[in-house]
Amino acid sequence: MHSDESIPDMIEKKAMKATHKALCKYGYADLTMKKIADESDRCKSTFHYHYDTKENLLVNFIQYLLDGFEKRMVPETEDPLKKLNGFIDRMLFGLGDEETAESFHTALIEIRSQAPYNEKFRGQITKNDEYILHITTNIIQEGIEKGRFKNTDPKNTAIVILSAIYGARARHISTDRNATEELRTALDWILDELIVK
Amino acid sequence: MHSDESIPDMIEKKAMKATHKALCKYGYADLTMKKIADESDRCKSTFHYHYDTKENLLVNFIQYLLDGFEKRMVPETEDPLKKLNGFIDRMLFGLGDEETAESFHTALIEIRSQAPYNEKFRGQITKNDEYILHITTNIIQEGIEKGRFKNTDPKNTAIVILSAIYGARARHISTDRNATEELRTALDWILDELIVK
Amino acid sequence: MHSDESIPDMIEKKAMKATHKALCKYGYADLTMKKIADESDRCKSTFHYHYDTKENLLVNFIQYLLDGFEKRMVPETEDPLKKLNGFIDRMLFGLGDEETAESFHTALIEIRSQAPYNEKFRGQITKNDEYILHITTNIIQEGIEKGRFKNTDPKNTAIVILSAIYGARARHISTDRNATEELRTALDWILDELIVK
Amino acid sequence: MHSDESIPDMIEKKAMKATHKALCKYGYADLTMKKIADESDRCKSTFHYHYDTKENLLVNFIQYLLDGFEKRMVPETEDPLKKLNGFIDRMLFGLGDEETAESFHTALIEIRSQAPYNEKFRGQITKNDEYILHITTNIIQEGIEKGRFKNTDPKNTAIVILSAIYGARARHISTDRNATEELRTALDWILDELIVK
DNA sequence: GATGAATGAGAGTTCATTCAT
DNA sequence: AATGAATGAACTCTCATTCAT
């Protein structure tokens, strides 16, 4: 056992993909090492060998999840409105690729549900949450500076938008309603007031 | 033994309280019949005697939780703005009593995290979600009719507000930030634009 | 609790019928006090009140079963061949009434399977077995004395016939074959040699 | 874990022996995984690991029991009478080795008592029963063809003999009588009539 | 590095029995 | 006499973890 000292890339990739699949398929409460292993071509002893404990595997997984997350949410465009709308779309619906759509946010919400009871998880989630809030604020700030958005408070606006996005995702997976689509429509109404026409 | 046919009030109360406590204390993933029983002065078998299965106990618990929820969220006042603000406060912070504050929403979020994997839970959550959306919409509608709110779309506004509230609760318990307080402040900014001055 | 001191006839009857039904329905291994009670209109506490333990209830049941058994197996006729054939038929197929047909022997075999591990049961079964062997021997003895059967050894003949009957019953309920019907036919062949023509 | 896909010989053997011992010691009704494990040097979990469920372990055990059974019952001799008598002896008393004597038939009878309530068990028992009937019939058929037995119906004779053997075994373990010895003696009387002198 | 085998701890559940009414 | 409520013991089965190979 070595736990953290250099896990081969191949294994790391397989472990992360398998954890992701299993987490989405069964949810955090019913996630087991066997189910994770079964989503890969490796056995559960192998994952124990490389990560020692289930918790450590999950800590690594959260990092992997959030790293990818942060990199992909902001679309490359100069137009602040396009940037904001693109960001909201990615947050609500994921990117087009099958990797992230749906399943990504499902995994994240499952992890979040466990965060209150796990300090490590909570620390990771907190850092990510602050980062996402930061970039959201920046997008709005930028829009204001470029004269495209009205002069509101960027951080408070970001907090409302981000909170609503997280809430919609939660409602989406825990009810039979299409809550993300509903919020997308509703946000258009609200954002309309933000724009300088 | 009997499962649904009339559980004594005393037991029902003990079971619900104990489930609530255990759920908040350990989270859904680590919730066990033993832990529930240990939060009461009854033993595991007793709860099995009255509810048969863990799942059935939880189904009953969710109903108990949501019934109480729906009854308590709308404050009794005629002023639409006070009503809306009171509603938001209760949704974000609970009522003053120790019963609901914090722990109630924590329990609800834990249950929600399992809803994607449990049809019964999801059905119950969906019904509640729709009910809450309905009364939120009504509050806004009423404000518009009474000339206190600007003429926006009530449902879309309700969706944004509600989503943001749910998102803030989720952020609150899964990060180290005081996300509910943050949203409360941020919403004041936004709501300011809703009011007819 | 009184255990044995005078159980009301009504209860005795209900207990015995219910035990019989439950035993046939679920088999000895899956027989529970609840299942027995559910076959009656009384609850399991009531049976515990009157019989104290499950074992004691079963001991009483066996006695009830065997008492009825012994009384009903020998048909009333003077003709030794008719008597023997009638006896074999009742042993293999029960009487016509729904009470005994099939279910009686099923219950008996279930009880027998437990006899090796329960001295009381075994004692009761032994006594009954010896009694049945005794009356079978008598029937044959009588036939010989009346000159209707050839002069074979009555006891040995009885042992073969009785053993075959018990074996056929066992094969009947533990295989998909109609083993009792098969034995009935086969015995006709064999018995043909017993008769003085 | 894998259930059917190749259980190591060593384990298979230990599982079968332990199940056999426990079944004979406690009977089907009181057979538990713990008791089975305690008859071996492995723990409960190990047997669950290899066989998944108790039922599956028992299905495998029945197959193991019957396979051995079928192979050992017919003695190697050309003389039809010796063959028949040898077969009856083995069926009634087992072979000389401690493996089969007594305990084998005890185990089989315990399993049989559960067959009415378990389709898989019943299927296995039925197949075995038919096979044993088949070879018994053959032994008698052979004796007739070789002119050593009188010209009776082989199948009906086999049915009576086999049924009697099964019945004697059942009586043997469920009463205090030496029922197998009794039948052996009684059958000699009957078989005497079968032989061409 | 990788994995099948093994296991202790603990999960949900069942059940004979007891007790209060 | 009768029963709903309650429970400890024991059941089957699961799972993270360890170990031998």
Are B93 and B166 in a shared domain? yes
* B-chain residue closest to A164, CA distance: B164
C73 and C25 assigned to the same domain: no
Residue C154: inside a domain:
yes
pLDDT band at D98, cuts 50/70/90? low
Residue A61's closest CA among A44, A72, A75, A47?
A47
Q: How confident is the model at residue A99 (pLDDT cuts 50, 70, 90)?
A: low
d(CA D104, CA D106): 5
Looking at the domain assignment, is residue C4 inside a domain? no
Look at residues B102, B23, B117 and name the one whose alpha carbon lies nearest to residue B62.
B23
Tell whether B85 and B181 lie within a shared domain.
yes
* Closest nucleotide over all strands to C37 (CA to C1'): F3
Q: Which amino acid is at C11?
A: I
User: Residue D195 forms beta bridges with which residues?
Assistant: D149
Q: Is the CB of A72 under 7 A from strand F?
A: no
Structural domain for C139, as ranges: 69-195
Measured in angstroms, the CA of B137 and the nearest CA of chain A are apart by 13
Residue B2: CB less than 7 A from any atom in strand F: yes
Q: Does D17 reside within a domain?
A: yes
Nearest to D174 among C112, C156, C168 (CB): C112
Q: Which nucleotide is nearest to B45 (CA to C1')?
A: F7
Closest residue to B117, CB basis, from A27, A152, A170: A27
The residue from A64, A85, A102 where one domain ends is: A64
- Nearest neighbour of A163 by CB, restricted to B126, B153, B171: B171
Residue B87 and residue B181 in one domain: yes
Indicate whether B3 belongs to any domain: no
To 5 degrees, how large is the angle CA B162–CA B167–CA B170? 130
Write out chain C residues lying below 8 Å of D126, CB-based.
175-177
What is the C-alpha separation between D7 and D128, in angstroms, rounded? 24
* CB-CB under 8 Å, C114 with D189: no
**Minimal Cα distance from C158: which residue of D?**
D186
Q: Quote the CA–CA distance of B10 and B19 in Å, as a whole number.
A: 14
CATH code of C52's domain? 1.10.10
Count other C-beta atoms under 10 Å from residue C119's C-beta: 10
In strand F, which positions have an atom below 7 A from any protein CB?
1-20
Whether the CB-CB separation of D87 and D45 falls below 8 Å is answered with no
Inter-chain residue contact A162 with B157, CB threshold 8 Å: no
Q: Give the closest residue to B158 by CA, choosing from B174, B173, B144.
A: B144
**Which chain A positions have a beta carbon within 8 Å of B102's beta carbon?**
none
B and A interact (at least 3 Cβ pairs within 8 A): yes
For all residues of chain C together, what is the average pLDDT? 91
Nearest residue to D173 via CA among D118, D119, D103, D114: D103
Indicate the SS3 state at residue A93: helix
Q: Are residues D143 and D166 in the same domain?
A: yes
Residue B2 placed within a domain: no
Q: How far is the CA of A141 from the C1' of F13 (A)?
A: 57
- Domain boundary pick from D48, D64, D80: D64
D161 against B73, higher pLDDT: D161
| Nearest-neighbour CA in chain B from A54: distance (Å) | 14
**What is the arithmetic mean of pLDDT over A158-164?**
97
Rounded CA-CA distance C112/D179 in Å is: 14
Contact state of D177 with C153 under an 8 Å Cβ cutoff: no
- Touching pair D, C by Cβ (3+ pairs < 8 Å): yes
**Best residue in B35, B175, B181, B194 for a mutation probing chain A (most A CBs within 10 Å):** B175
Together in a domain, B78 and B59: no
Q: Tell me, in Å, how far CA of B15 is from C1' of F14?
A: 26
**Residue A6 Cα, gap to closest chain B Cα (Å):** 29
Average pLDDT of every residue of chain D: 91
D54 touches strand F (CB under 7 A): yes
Strand partners, B149: B195
- Between A94-98, C103-107, D166-170, the lowest mean confidence (pLDDT) is in A94-98
The whole-angstrom distance between A169's CA and the closest CA on chain B is: 8
Domain assignment present for D45: yes
pLDDT at C12: 95
A185 CB neighbours in chain B (<8 A) are 156
Which pair of structure tokens corresponds to residue D37?
A: 């494990």
Q: Å from C8 to nearest chain D CA?
A: 31
What integer pLDDT is reported at residue D4 of this predicted model? 53
Nucleotide nearest to A35 (CA to C1'): F15
Residue D162: which CATH number? Answer: 1.10.357.10
- Verify that C124 and C177 share a domain, yes or no: yes
Q: Chains C and D: how many Cβ contacts under 8 Å?
A: 164
- Scanning every strand, the nucleotide with its C1' closest to C52's CA turns out to be E17
Question: pLDDT tens-digit profile of D10-31?
Answer: 999 999 999 999 999 999 999 9
Structure-model confidence comparison of residues D175 and D4, the more confident one = D175
Phi, psi of D195 (to 5 degrees): -85, 140
pLDDT at C82 over 70: yes
Per mean pLDDT, which of A95-99, C111-115, D162-166 is the most reliable? D162-166
Least CB-CB distance to C27: which of D114, D166, D185? D114
- Tally Cβ neighbours within 10 Å of residue A57: 20
Segment D108-149, tens digit of pLDDT: 999 999 999 999 999 999 999 999 999 999 999 999 999 999
Q: Which chains touch B (3 or more CB pairs under 8 A)?
A: A
pLDDT tier, D100 (very low <50, low <70, confident <90, very high otherwise): low
Backbone phi and psi for residue B6, each to the nearest 5 degrees, phi listed first: 60, 90
Structure tokens at B143: 């404000």
Using one digit for the tens of pLDDT, what is the confidence trace for A115-157? Answer: 999 999 999 999 999 999 999 999 999 999 999 999 999 999 9
Res C142: pLDDT: 94
- Cα–Cα dist C57/C54, whole Å: 5
Q: How far is A112 from chain B (nearest CA, A)?
A: 6
A76 and A136 both lie in a single domain:
yes
**Is there a contact between C19 and C61 (Cβ–Cβ < 8 Å)?**
yes
- Taking the C1' atom of every nucleotide in all shown strands and the CA of B44, the nearest one is F7
Number of domains comprising chain A: 2
Q: Are B157 and B136 in a shared domain?
A: yes
Q: Are residues C128 and C42 in the same domain?
A: no
Q: Is the Cα torsion angle C69, C75, C80, C86 positive or negative in sign?
A: negative
**Longest CA span, chain B:** 62
Position A75 pLDDT exceeds 90: no
Q: Please list, residue by residue across D19-53, b when 16 or more beta carbons sit within 10 angstroms of its beta carbon and e when fewer do.
A: bbbbbbebbbbebebebbbbbbebeeeebbebbee
Calpha distance C145→D52 (Å, rounded)? 62
Chain A residue numbers touching B125 (CB-CB < 8 A): 174-175
Taking only the tens of pLDDT, chain B with its 197 residues reads: 454 568 899 999 999 999 999 999 999 999 999 999 999 999 999 999 999 999 999 999 999 999 988 888 888 898 999 999 999 999 999 876 655 567 788 889 999 999 999 999 999 999 999 999 999 999 999 999 999 999 999 999 999 999 999 999 999 999 999 999 999 999 998 888 888 87
Rounded-to-integer distance, Cα A113 and Cα B173, Å: 8
Here the tokens at position C177 are: 């074959």
Task: Look at residue C1 in the predicted model and tell me its pLDDT.
Answer: 47
Cβ < 7 Å from strand F, B residues 58-87: none
DSSP string, C33-71: HHHHHHTSSS-HHHHHHHHSSHHHHHHHHHHHHHHHHHH
Q: Are residues A91 and A37 in the same domain?
A: no
A2 in any annotated domain: no
- Reduce the DSSP state of residue A24 to 3 states and report it: helix
Mark whether A104 and A168 lie in a shared domain. Answer: yes
The whole-model pTM stands at 0.92
pLDDT of residue B62: 96
Predicted confidence at residue C45, as pLDDT, reads 97
A110/B106 touch (CB, cutoff 8 Å), yes or no: no
Given this model, what pLDDT does residue A107 score? 87
How near does any CA of chain B get to the CA of A113, in Å? Answer: 6
| CB-based contact C177 D130, cutoff 8 Å | yes
- Mean model confidence pLDDT for chain A: 91
pLDDT at position A5 is 62
Report the residue of D54, D140, D159, D187 to disrupt the C interface, i.e. the one with the largest count of C CBs within 10 Å.
Answer: D159
| D164 interaction partners in chain C (CB closer than 8 Å) | 160, 163-164, 167
pLDDT-derived band of residue D72, with 50, 70 and 90 as boundaries? confident
Judged against a pLDDT cut of 60, whether residue C147 lies above it is answered with yes
Q: What's the CA–C1' distance between D45 and E9, in Å? A: 11
Residue of higher predicted confidence among A99 and C157: C157
Q: Is the CB of B12 under 7 A from strand F?
A: no
Report the residue of B105, B163, B165, B172 to disrupt the A interface, i.e. the one with the largest count of A CBs within 10 Å: B163
User: Is residue C161 domain-resident?
Assistant: yes
Touching subunits of A (3+ CB pairs, under 8 Å) are B
Least confident window among A45-59, C68-82, D48-62: C68-82
List chain E nucleotides near protein: any atom < 7 Å from a Cβ.
Answer: 1-20
User: CA–C1' distance B174–E3 (Å)?
Assistant: 37
| pLDDT for position B98 | 58
Interchain pair B29, A29: CB under 8 A: yes
Question: Does the distance separating the beta carbons of B130 and A177 come in below 8 Å?
Answer: yes
- pLDDT bracket for residue A1 (50, 70, 90): very low
